[in-house]
C-alpha cells in the first residue's frame, strides 16, 4: 500500500495517457506537457482513456516507482476537467479517487493552514 501524507505534492495529469507508456515516457511527459519536475518527489497520477486504471509515478531519491491500479469493476467517477494540463490534489482526495470515489463532493478541513497570532496564543494557554 502506498503511504500518502498531507505534506506530499500530488498532481493529476488532466488529459488521459496511452497506458503503454513506461517510466521514461512518463518522465518526459511530466517535463514537457505538464511543465513539472519529475525528480521533485511529487506523485504524478495519470488515467487511461476508459477511466479503468490509474498510474502513479514517484521519484524517491534513488529511482522511480511506477504503480498501476486497474479497477476490477467500474471506472473512475471523477477526474478534473481544466484548461490547465495538471491539477493539484490533497492526499485524502487522492485516496478517495483511488477507491473510485468522487473527491469533489468531499468536505473536510484543510490539511494545513497558518494560524494568526491570536489563534497561536489561544492554543498555548
39-93 pLDDT tens trace: 999 999 999 999 999 999 999 999 999 999 999 999 998 998 888 999 999 888 8
Side by side, the strands of the sheet bearing 10-13 are 64-70, 53-59, 43-47, 10-13, 86-89
Note the pLDDT of residue 103. Answer: 83
**Domain chopping of the chain, boundaries:** 10-124
pLDDT band at 110 (very low <50, low <70, confident <90, very high): low
The whole-angstrom separation of Cα 18 and Cα 66 is 14
Average pLDDT estimate for 31-40: 96
The whole-angstrom separation of Cα 117 and Cα 44 is 36
Amino acid at each position: 500500500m502506498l503511504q500518502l501524507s498531507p505534506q506530499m505534492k500530488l498532481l493529476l495529469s488532466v488529459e488521459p495517457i496511452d497506458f503503454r507508456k513506461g517510466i521514461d515516457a512518463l518522465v518526459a511527459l511530466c517535463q514537457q506537457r505538464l511543465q513539472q519536475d519529475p525528480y521533485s518527489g511529487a506523485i504524478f497520477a495519470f488515467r487511461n482513456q476508459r477511466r479503468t486504471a490509474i498510474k502513479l509515478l514517484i521519484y524517491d531519491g534513488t529511482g522511480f516507482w511506477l504503480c498501476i491500479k486497474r479497477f476490477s469493476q467500474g471506472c473512475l467517477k471523477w477526474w478534473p476537467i481544466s484548461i490547465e494540463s495538471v491539477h493539484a490534489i490533497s492526499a485524502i482526495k487522492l485516496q478517495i479517487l483511488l477507491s473510485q470515489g468522487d473527491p469533489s463532493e468531499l468536505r473536510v478541513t484543510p490539511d494545513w493552514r497558518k494560524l494568526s497570532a491570536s489563534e497561536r496564543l489561544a492554543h498555548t494557554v
